[in-house]
Structure 1
């Protein structure tokens, strides 16, 4: 019990609205970056894909992911 209690207490932090907003803003920025880079990847032709070393299969796999992944 004496080892479990400090770990349990450490899990519960006071509510921090600024931290919550910061986390949400950071997550939104990552999602926007994912969407933007995937649009750029979709616009590449075969020659450009070969230049950067990406196969068609790898491109299709990346483009099939949702923006949040």
Structure 2
């Protein structure tokens, strides 16, 4: 068996504009759903009301860091 190595770094795949729009729409829907959860559901996921409201108020352009990798 032969092992191959490369000095080049892998670049992340480019995301198409429709892909970006789809991701942003999904993020918006998730934040709206989070804002609608009751206190019991928030407790189940380990988030308090203040944290949920702060996340729901974030702009759709304020995407998580892992989206930028």
TM-score interval, smaller chain:
0.5 to 0.7
- 4+ residue runs over 3 A deviation: none
As a proportion of its length, which structure holds more helix? 1
State the distance in 1 between where 2:61 and 2:19 align.
12
- TM-score (norm. length: structure 1): 0.62
Q: Is the 8 A contact 1:38 1:62 kept in 2?
A: yes
Alignment of 1:13-32 (within 5 A): 23-32=16-25
- TM-score (norm. length: structure 2): 0.62
How many residues in Structure 1 have an aligned counterpart in Structure 2? Answer: 49
Two-structure CA RMSD over aligned residues (Å): 1.5
Larger radius of gyration: 1
| Uncovered stretches (5+) of structure 2, i.e. residues with no partner | 1-13, 63-69
State the distance in 2 between where 1:29 and 1:47 align.
30
